[in-house]
Amino acid sequence: MASLPLGTNLTLPEIQRRRDPRGNLADRIDTISQENRIWEDIVLVPCNNGKFHEDRLIATRPSGTERAINEGITQEASTTQTITEPTCMLAALSRVDEAVIKGNMAARADEDAEFVKGMMETVVSRLFDGARSTDLRRINGIHNRTNYNSLTNTTKTVFDNAGGAASGTANKTSMYFFQWGLKKLYLIYPEGDERAQGNGPIKVTDYGKSIIDQAGTSGAKHYPAWQSWFNFDFGLFIADYRCIKRVVNISTSNI
């Protein structure tokens, strides 16, 4: 008999744990979810270059120079900086043995909902901690951008001394202030993505029931299973660095 690893396969015992004494899906106490109220403010914008998004900043502008009669001045010109950000592909796959569902499609819908919640939490995590230096499949989160990860930057976007000392306090956190909007701060998704028609951020594709290979059998054994595919291609675009402010070294020792 094949063993099914928890967290990989939805099993009959797990389905049973989710049912009340009457056999219906029960309300569960969720102690692992994050509030993620950030989704109420996030702005989603389609890319303007396929899976990449570009915008242009005014880097410098002429300032002019005082002059005297018969005195020349130095020629000037404004300059522009191009910003290009990629998108990453976040995906998940759910496969549930047909025998586990047994016509109880509500159990499958419940499982799909947990996938969506978990992926939305992952997106928020990547917005802060994503690092392309360690994994090129990810985006660069706020913590890994020079405007927000150092007290010595000159952009005045990071502020210190919020109740904890950088070296003297063991438990610290940060507070962020975001100003979401076009030409400010927003999430991007690939050009032509279906989210442009108003669908939710996590796209769910129902592949229905099909015969799949049993894991670890090199394709020698098969069984029928319901399959759902979840994906969200996204990136973080900071058009105006001033739209993010970070207050660091907040002591959490007494929280």
Element of type H or E holding 123: helix 105-129
Under DSSP, the state recorded for 56 is E
pLDDT in tens, 1-11: 455 455 566 55
Per-position b or e across 17-41, b if 16+ CB within 10 A of its CB: ebeeeeeeeeeeeeeeeeeeebeee
**Around Cβ 3, how many Cβ atoms within 10 Å?**
6
Evaluate if pTM is beyond 0.75: yes
CATH class (in words) of the domain with range 37-58+77-152+180-240: alpha beta
pLDDT at residue number 137: 96
- Of 19-33, 47-61, 101-115, 205-219, the range with the lowest mean pLDDT is 19-33
Percent of the chain having pLDDT more than 90? Answer: 51
CA dist., res. 70 & res. 44, Å (int): 55
pLDDT at residue number 12: 46
State the amino acid at position 212 in one-letter form.
I
Range 123-135 average pLDDT: 95
What residue segments make up the domains of the chain, in order of their start?
37-58+77-152+180-240
Q: 133 near 144, Cβ under 8 Å?
A: yes
SS3 at position 237 = strand
Q: 73 near 65, Cβ under 8 Å?
A: yes
Q: How confident is the model at residue 196 (pLDDT cuts 50, 70, 90)?
A: very low
Contacts for 102-107: CB closer than 8 Å, 24+ residues apart: 104/15, 106/25, 107/15, 107/18, 107/25
- CA triplet 193, 198, 202: central angle to 5 degrees? 65
Please enumerate in sequence order all residues whose Cβ is within 8 A of that of 144, keeping only pairs 6 or more positions apart, or say none. 129, 130, 131, 132, 133
Please enumerate in sequence order all residues whose Cβ is within 8 A of that of 119, keeping only pairs 6 or more positions apart, or say none. 90, 92, 202, 230, 232
Q: How confident is the model at residue 221 (pLDDT cuts 50, 70, 90)?
A: very high
Q: How confident is the model at residue 254 (pLDDT cuts 50, 70, 90)?
A: low
Report the chain's mean pLDDT, rounded to a whole number. Answer: 83
pLDDT in tens, 8-64: 665 545 555 555 555 555 555 554 456 678 888 999 999 999 999 999 999 999 999
